[in-house]
Amino acid sequence: MKRIFLSLLCFFYIGVAVAGGADVPTHPSKEWIFPKNEVSVVYYNRGFFDPYIWRPPSPIFWHAVKSMNSGVMFMYHRLIFHSRKHFSLYVGTSLSRWERFEATVYAPTIFFSLRWWFFRTQTVNAYLSYSVAGPTVINIDQLAEKDLGGYFIFQDYLGVGLQFGRRHALNLDLRLLHYSNGDVLTHNPGFDVPVVLYIGYSF
């Protein structure tokens, strides 16, 4: 429940700041591009990425004892709001397949995500992305002899990335993923996907 409250509070304060007009570009005539749609593929393999990468402490982000060994995700983002330059809000959906030894987890998700564009040029932009408490249904309720609490879980991610090209059509970023039920069920060990490579196309 704390995670859900944090998510709502975060989006509320960001919305107030954005709506207040604090994000006015230095050059009003300059048009910053915010593509409306983004499709992407996400990849993780324990052999290529460090499974022990550092994670921010809770409640900024979360950590589980168990982590997956490999997997892929297909994701779609739809822009629903943006400020003039620095913030954008998306609704999205994803379908994931994660593996840990003999276990395979399928995880369809819907979510909201926020991006903070902290560096802007006409051809390259850098951003932080954050998504909390995306409702997810999984196909198993046991993982590595741990009771996940049920088939309902939340997806969270935190990432840093680049968008580049003349129409800002290409995206490349690294993300941390975490799944757990936020203590809404009796058991909540959750699991992590330590770090994933995100490749996207925007239009």
Across 14-23, 50-59, 139-148, least confident range: 14-23
pLDDT category, 28, cuts 50, 70, 90? very low
Give the span between the Cα atoms of 71 and 76, in whole angstroms.
17
Residue 114: name the closest of 91, 85, 142 by CA.
91
The rounded mean pLDDT for the chain is 86
Environment class of residue 166 by beta-carbon count within 10 Å: exposed (0-12), middle (13-18) or buried (19+)? exposed
| Number of domain units in the chain | 1
pLDDT tens digits, residue range 82-113? 999 999 999 999 999 999 998 999 999 999 99
For residue 37, the cross-strand partners are 78
Residue 201: HSE in the Cβ half-sphere, 13 Å Cα cutoff: 2
Structural domain for 154, as ranges: 2-22+30-202
Residue 3 pLDDT greater than 80, yes or no:
no
Tokens 């198993």 map to which residue? 140
**DSSP code at position 168:** -
Give the span between the Cα atoms of 26 and 23, in whole angstroms.
9
Q: Which residue has the higher pLDDT, 131 or 9?
A: 131
Residues of the chain above pLDDT 90, percent = 68
Tokens 């049920």 map to which residue? 150
Residue 202 pLDDT greater than 50, yes or no:
yes
For residues 72-78, give the mean pLDDT: 98
pLDDT tens digits, residue range 138-165? 999 999 888 999 999 999 999 999 999 8
Q: What is the pLDDT at residue 185?
A: 85
Indicate which CATH number applies to the domain containing 67: 2.40.160.20
Q: What is the pLDDT at residue 30?
A: 62
Q: What is the pLDDT at residue 22?
A: 39
Q: What is the pLDDT at residue 31?
A: 78
